[in-house]
Chain A
Amino acid sequence: MIARCARCQGTFQADRFGVQTCPHCGGQVLLSDPNAPQGAGDAGGQAGGPPPPSAPPAPAPGSAPAGGAPSSSPPPPGFGPPPAGFGPPPGGYGPSPGGYGAPPPWGGGGRPTGGPGQPSPFADRARLGFFRAYFETWKRAAIEPTEFFRSVRIDQTGSAILFGVIASTLGGWAQSFWASLTAASTRAQMLELSSKIPPQWAGFAKAFSEYAEHATSTTSLVSQALFAPLAAVVGIFVSAAIFHALLLLVRGANRGFDATLTVVGYAWGISLLQLIPECGALVVPIWMAVVLITGFAEAHRCGTGKGAAAVLLPMALLCVCLCGAIALAFGASGLGALTGQMPKGVQL
């Protein structure tokens, strides 16, 4: 049978009744036996709710969602709605008393929803057409992230990942192309810039110009273009894992990893702006950070503060590290001036 978590609204396969752990968010879900006597527990895995007016028949394995997700067959008569506040009414149930979101557009057509909200236009690309669906989704995720991530389904991670991979790949290819056109002038600028860096930072200047030289070489640019799709897939999953870990730390991961992966996938769509030469690559990280913060706040229902903490914490830590490094470096140089030697590992 399929059960739905009352916490993250994700669905999962359950092979028994009783207390279960949601595989999406790790929350505890109580699945009561519908054939058990009244008062033994509540239906649908939602503790604290009223019992249904009449017990439904035991669901067939893999067909009927125990937690209230739509099934391929009409719901049994007399099976009342779940208590308010636990997401959308599953297709086929009676009118909800309040607290439910809009019903999914396919009603009780047989697909488990796994959560409230509607599919993104890109997830509905078979009906809308690929390009229309893609640009509609891009527009909504980039310009109306609050509304988009509040309503988007989190159980269609495949579409979100594909969306992000396409944007990142196209953006990566465009960046390689623009970089190949401006490689010579970039190297000249880097050389000029490194010559202006103070002599005590000669190591950094050397590393900087070497890196610029390598990054704009033909081999490097071709490799970047070839590996762009793979880098996008790995980047989306790894960054989603890091953001989810940070959301766990700030207690903001309310709807499981699928919600984080969905937000990261659609936010990576902003990479498409790299098609714009020069300024595109500068705008992308800032715009993406805004979309990620809003996306986490809405998709995890955790508030902007926790969303911002998850996104900005690595940057804040980096700043602290840099400040610490500067303090250490200058402290060490002062110490070195006094003692006449540098501490181990410090090269100025």
Chain B
Amino acid sequence: MIAWRRIARFGVPEVFALIGLLSFAFARFLPVLALPYTCPMKGAFGIPCATCGMTHAFVALARGDLSGALAASPFGALLAAAAWAYAAADLTRAGLDLPFPVLDLRLQRAVVLAAAVALALNWAWLLSSGSPT
């Protein structure tokens, strides 16, 4: 299921780790919520899309407000936590030159399917709660 491999010290996994780190820096230090952006679907119909509230979730979690992040978008809070945990773990792994966990194809598919189901559940939750953000 999972194989541990020695890979190049800086490769594609590390770029994704840096993107995760960058998302934390943006959410923590830049006034991203001040941008006058409204989701077109919410603006037009008053109904949130599946990804509504993710920016609020990232910003809230970056500032340590877990309940605010979960209220804005549970999937967004989960994604932010996963992205930052991955960034920290992978950069540590690369720094210590440890092997990288490689998932087999079946496990990769299972992860993607779980993420898709989580996104759908998140949308259902946003619709039922009226998207607080």
Contacts and interface: CB of A to CB of B under 8 A. Distances in A.
A338 interface: no
Interface centre among B37, B45, B108 (most CB of A within 10 A): B45
B43 A204 contact: yes
B100 A26 contact: no
Contact of A211 (B38, B45, B49, B104): B38
Interface in B10-44: 12, 15-16, 19, 22, 35-38, 40-41, 43-44
A186 B35 CA distance: 19
Contacts of A345: 46-48, 127, 129-131
Contacts of A344: 130
A44 B40 CA distance: 54
A162 interface: no
Interface residues of B, number: 39
Interface in A308-342: 321-322, 325-326, 328-329
Given A21-B104, A248-B109, A237 B46 contact: no
B96 interface: no
A204 B40 contact: yes
Contacts of A248: 105, 108-109, 112
Interface string A251-279: 10100011001000000000000000000
Interface of A: 12-13, 15, 20-23, 25-28, 157, 201, 203-204, 207-208, 210-211, 213-214, 233-234, 237-238, 241, 245, 248-249, 251, 253, 257-258, 261, 321-322, 325-326, 328-329, 344-348
Given A21-B104, A233-B15, A325-B49, 6 more contacts: A13-B7, A204-B44, A211-B36, A253-B108, A329-B45, A346-B46
